[in-house]
Amino acid sequence: MLITLFLSLITLMITMVIMFIASILSKKTIMDREKNSPYECGFDPNGSARLPFSLRFFLIAVIFLIFDVEITLLLPIASIMNITNIFSWLLTSISFLIILLLGLYYEWYQGALSWSE
């Protein structure tokens, strides 16, 4: 038990020394106005660097990712049809598709798929 504690202490000390040396070596010693300013063809920036972001687009992108992952889960279903029992395969496939369609209809009902607003 004492050896484990001693080795943990040595590991912690070595880690702290390495982090301290890295922080000292990574400091920039030369502060230049040109290097500290953002690059925009040599001119000072006119506007904000942050652009407005459409929340509707973000919601559509998240929905796309969710359904894309579900499609990748559907791909192996066709390849295991010959290996498994047809009743369990059919029950699993239909239940998965029903859950997928219920999620799609829910998103449609909530208005998350309409671009006109």
**Residue at 25 is within a domain:** no
**Residue at 27 is within a domain:** no
**Residue at 21 is within a domain:** no
**Residue at 103 is within a domain:** yes
> pLDDT digit of tens for each residue in the chain (117 aa)?
889 999 999 999 999 999 999 888 887 666 666 666 666 565 655 666 667 777 778 888 888 888 888 888 888 888 888 888 889 889 988 998 899 889 889 888 888 777 665
Claim: this prediction has a pTM higher than 0.75? no
Question: How many domains does the chain contain in total?
Answer: 1
**Residue at 90 is within a domain:** yes
CB-CB contact of 98 with 79 (8 Å)? no
Look up the domain containing 80 and give its range. Answer: 55-110
Total length of the chain: 117
CA distance to 38, 40, 50, 51, 62, per residue, from 47 (Å): 12, 11, 9, 10, 29
Alpha carbons 27 and 17: distance in angstroms, whole number = 16
**Residue at 100 is within a domain:** yes
Alpha carbons 8 and 18: distance in angstroms, whole number = 15
